[in-house]
Amino acid sequence: MRVTTQMLNESARKAGLPIHDKSLLNYINQGNSGNSLMEAVSGNNSQNSGTSKIQKNSFEKMEKLAGGLYQKASLFLAKENTVFDKARETGDHKEVLDNIRDMVEAYNDTVGALSKETGAINRLYLESLKSAATENSSLLKNVGITASKDGKLVIDEEKFKNADLDDLEKAFGKSGTFSSKTAFVAGRIEDNAAANLESISNQYTSAGNTYTAALLNKFDHKG
């Protein structure tokens, strides 16, 4: 498939990234690895392949982590028949606690992964997730959850298990902002990772085709 600047702009738009008036070659030459398409033509194809594989693994991991966080945060945003409603009906809020633990684990995994990444967009996403927790720190603290220095959430199990269901809903339900903001940011992270995976795939295919053509041309000249 032929990649155009318009297609890359569309991927950037969907990922919530700023769109600049750059040519297709600008996008390719200014990739995260710093390797350009011209380097592939000049014989660095294997190096590009290795770099692309590392990037691909990183984006795949980020897409999976963010996707999981999005799903777990979205669980608390249902408009009706929520996990909180079910807990009130049964008088047992174990399922609520388990779902919150799952979300906290997914949140921490995503924060940890973003902390190891470079680039302005990753720092922005990381700070956005931390901000969601900071803005709701009082509500989270009421149910035994606090943020550590590295931005990850820590659960005080004793206080958490004995938290009032109403307080749990205030902290994680649709009336609050923690779950909704976390879901929004996680969705953007997932989209961005998917867009980068598509970009890498297209760049690798384009570079590979160009390199192969150069080799075939060289072979033809030799007869």
pLDDT band at 51 (very low <50, low <70, confident <90, very high): low
For residues 155 and 104, the answer to whether their CB atoms sit within 8 Å is yes
Nearest to 30 by CA among 149, 199, 151: 199
Q: What is the pLDDT of residue 49?
A: 61
pLDDT tens track for 68-83:
999 999 999 999 999 9
Distances (CA, A) of 3 to 10, 75, 81, 179: 11, 37, 45, 36
Question: For residue 109, how far is the Cα from the chain centroid?
Answer: 11
Phi, psi angles (nearest 5°) of residue 42:
-85, 5
Dihedral through CA 88, CA 90, CA 92, CA 94, nearest 10? -90
Q: What is the dihedral of CA 102, 187, 142, 150, to 10 degrees?
A: 80
Looking at the predicted structure, is the pLDDT value of residue 43 above 50? no
Sorting pLDDT into bands at 50, 70 and 90, what band is 200? confident
Residue 13 pLDDT > 90, yes or no?
no
Higher pLDDT, 222 or 151: 151
Cα–Cα distance for residue pair 87/84, rounded to 1 Å: 5
Q: What is the pLDDT of residue 202?
A: 78
pLDDT in tens, 101-152: 999 999 999 999 999 998 999 999 999 999 999 999 999 999 999 999 999 9
Query: Model confidence at 54, in pLDDT bands (50, 70, 90)?
Result: confident
Q: Are the C-beta atoms of residues 163 and 144 closer than 8 Å to each other?
A: yes
Q: What is the pTM of this model?
A: 0.71
Check whether 216 has a pLDDT greater than 80.
no
